[in-house]
Chain A
Amino acid sequence: MTENGITGAEIVIRALEDQGVEVIFGYPGGAVLPIYDELFQRDHNIRHVLVRHEQGAVHAAEGYARATGKPGVVLVTSGPGATNAVTGLTDALMDSIPLVVLTGQVPTALIGNDAFQEADTVGITRPCTKHNWLVKDPHDLARVIHEAFYVATKGRPGPVVIDIPKDVQFAEGSYVGPGNVAHRTYKPRVKGDLEKIKDAVDAIAAAKKPVIYTGGGVINSGPAASQLLRELARLTGYPVTSTLMGLGAFPADDPQWLGMLGMHGTWEANHAMHQCDVMLCVGARFDDRVTGRLDAFSPNSTKIHIDIDPSSINKNVIVDIPIVGDVAHVLEDLIRVWKAKVCRPDKTALEQWWHEIDGWRARNCLAYAPSRSVIKPQHAIERLYALTKDRDTYITTEVGQHQMWAAQFFRFQEPNRWMTSGGLGTMGYGLPAAVGVQMAFPDSLVVDIAGEASVQMTMQEMSTAVQYDLPIKIFILNNEYMGMVRQWQELLHGGRYSHSYSDSLPDFVKLAEAYGAVGIRASDPASLDDAIAEMIDIKRPVLFDCVVDKTENCFPMIPSGAAHNEMILSDLAEQSVSDAGKTLV
């Protein structure tokens, strides 16, 4: 299996091929030219996508990874190439997205000399990767690349960086295949402790007011995990809610679905979390956007927590039954134990609980005032959903109000259809992520639900979409404000709109044309459907400028520092926030 006398650059391409890599997102530069030369000369099956900024390459790889379940691969140069990738790496770390990022480095003899385009890449990326390597010996290169794929994808997934000095790319080394590499230390546990699972089943079966709280871990665990979640929900009849990251694992059309929970979650989901007596947390991590005020979080519940990362257990919320393991493995065992014990939910209690939940549902918390004169952003997303739901659709987003409205109003039925920057909240994520998704699924409908502020952060990737004939649709809810900033300024800062209005916005229709894409503008609610239909029919990249109500707020909202049962709804928006809450982000 070992092959001698091939160059480091050849080893890189060989290893990527052996790892089954089909697409890499990258940008050439001095310190990676030998690898680019190899891409040019060597006969291989890897498609390279030339982005316009390295941040775009990493977000595109994230979109690719989340839609396919396979690791995303990035190739960038040293110095600025690597530092531009840092935002994407941090984003992928926060959202547990498997990425393998190859960075060029100055020749080993120049490392530490402040050489041209030198940066301490492993130093800079150490806190924003799951692991990273600087490869100084070409004989280590193949092993490190195979280890990198293993580390990125096993356990809690995450981004890894391999920093490869230019002389190592030129030097001759030896190649080993993936089968010959076993990791010395990293062996994450996937099977849950059976005793704990039995305890969990007992608690779940005895529940009077249960709730299943799911997260991105269900998606990361693979499609089987979503199926098992659905089976568990059917067996128990219990209500299901999800974090932003977990949307699609459970179908939004299911009667047991409560909608998303958390800061902009539904009234019913957050009240169910607050009032429940047993909480089954599946692949979620009790993030501050979910819990609200910690000392008031679900005060009376027995908490069961399934997570593959032991450091997620008891990090924010102390739980009663922790189960470390992969969601699919644990749910499979849990369902098996449930059936073996012939468990039955408490029907009377459950009926009473659903009755209570229906009372919360009756608040109709997502209601908004319709308009015939101006497009309401919620209405735009409802229409986008209605007109795309029967298609093979993938949704990405930027970050802000539009993202929350997308989470509330676009009804996801399947996993891996929803790519959004949850943990880091990276404006500019959605457009390049859409490029990545469309590369994986060229015939599907890929829509980036965007805001006009976010989308300008990575707008240059429209050029990438045009170059590779990727018919992505950028659906901009244009309110001329950084909408979420404006909303917080309205609610928390006395309506002082400090620097949240974007004057001098580009004409998005002309901008699309300048890129060689198609621009569409809609500002009249009556013509919105036709405009969306036109967008869907165009088999080219589209910038859709949806001119919406400038001052619409996103509700419900749990203000920072408040508890789940202290949500504000749209008609109560004048309620104030505590001083302590204002200091929270």
Chain B
Amino acid sequence: MSASEAIQTHTIAALVDNEAGVLARVIGLFSGRGYNIESLTVAEVDAEEHTSRITIVTSGSAQVIEQIKAQLDRLVPVHRVVDLTVETVPLERELALLKLRASGEKRVESLRLADAFRARVVDSTLNSFVFELTGAPEKINAFIELMGPLGLIDVSRTGVAAISRGAEPL
């Protein structure tokens, strides 16, 4: 496999008009053209301007990544598309909520691990916890893996929010 065909993972941010159907346009573009979505998050970031920011983690060859950016950029309600992985090493954060059902030593161990990961307990009963954890996706993966044998029964993740380092805006 040549370098140009190697599969890379990129985090792409798109600033879009917050209007009906804009997310469907983006998702339809990805499914229609066979691109991958590893994670996608969206929320309004400027209420006055009615703009939302979509953060997409995707993978593909260099040629496909270039296509994805060009295709996103030509959607009419898209203001700007920035490949955060190319221009800087971006800050990526995700929030996860994990529910455990456990008692005895497993319950105690889960609290110790949560402390080590700086996860917070946001709900508890006599035989369950809900932990809240923020961090890079790899950290969350590691936490989920450790919690598995301790009685993990439910996981909810937000997907990646990302921003560039340094003084410059998108």
Contact = CB atoms under 8 A, between A and B. Distances in A.
A126 B20 CA distance: 12
Nearest to B70: A311
A146 interface: no
A191 interface: no
Interface stretch (A73-81, A127-135, A169-177, A429-437): A127-135
B63 A314 contact: yes
Interface in A106-128: 122-123, 126-127
Contacts of B28: 126-127
Contact of A130 (B20, B21, B70, B76): B76
B25 A151 contact: no
A185 B74 contact: no
A184 interface: yes
Contacts of A151: 76
Interface in A382-422: none
Interface string B9-25: 00000000100110011
A184 B51 CA distance: 11
Contact of B17 (A184, A314, A318): A184
**Residues of A contacting B: mostly:** loop
B79 interface: yes
Contacts of B75: 131
Interface in B57-89: 63, 66-67, 70-71, 73-79
Given A127-B28, A314-B63, A185 B70 contact: no
Interface in B113-148: none
Contact of B77 (A122, A123, A185, A314): A185
Contacts of B73: 310-311
Given A126-B28, A134-B20, A184-B17, A315 B67 contact: yes
Given A310-B73, A315-B67, A318-B63, A185 B17 contact: yes
A126 B25 contact: yes
A314 B67 CA distance: 8
B74 A309 contact: yes
Contact of B66 (A123, A131, A155, A314): A314
B104 interface: no
A313 B70 contact: yes
Interface in A299-325: 309-311, 313-315, 318
Contacts of A314: 63, 66-67
Interface string A253-290: 00000000000000000000000000000000000000
Contact of A185 (B4, B25, B78): B78
B79 A185 contact: yes
B74 A311 contact: yes
Nearest to A313: B70
Interface residues of B, number: 20
A186 interface: yes
Nearest to B31: A127
A89 to B, nearest CB: 14
Interface string A151-178: 1000110000000000000000000000
A293 to B, nearest CB: 17
A311 B72 CA distance: 9
B166 interface: no
A122 B21 contact: yes
A241 B20 CA distance: 44
A276 B77 CA distance: 40
Contacts of A123: 21, 24
Contact of B67 (A127, A156, A186, A311): A311
Contacts of A318: 4, 63
Contacts of A313: 70
B26 to A, nearest CB: 11
Contacts of A315: 67, 70
B169 interface: no
Interface string A181-217: 0001110000000000000000000000000000000
Nearest to A151: B76
Contacts of A126: 21, 24-25, 28
Nearest to B19: A133
Contacts of A309: 74
B32 interface: yes
Contacts of B70: 310-311, 313, 315
B63 to A, nearest CB: 6
Nearest to A134: B20
A131 B21 CA distance: 11
Contacts of B79: 184-185
A221 B104 CA distance: 75
Contacts of B77: 131, 185
A362 B55 CA distance: 57
A193 to B, nearest CB: 15
Contacts of B74: 155-156, 309-311
A130 B66 CA distance: 20
A126 B21 CA distance: 9
Nearest to B79: A185
Given A127-B32, A313-B70, 20 more contacts: A122-B21, A123-B21, A126-B21, A126-B24, A131-B75, A131-B76, A131-B77, A134-B21, A151-B76, A156-B74, A184-B79, A185-B17, A309-B74, A310-B70, A310-B73, A311-B67, A311-B74, A314-B67, A315-B70, A318-B4
Interface of A: 122-123, 126-127, 130-131, 134, 151, 155-156, 184-186, 309-311, 313-315, 318
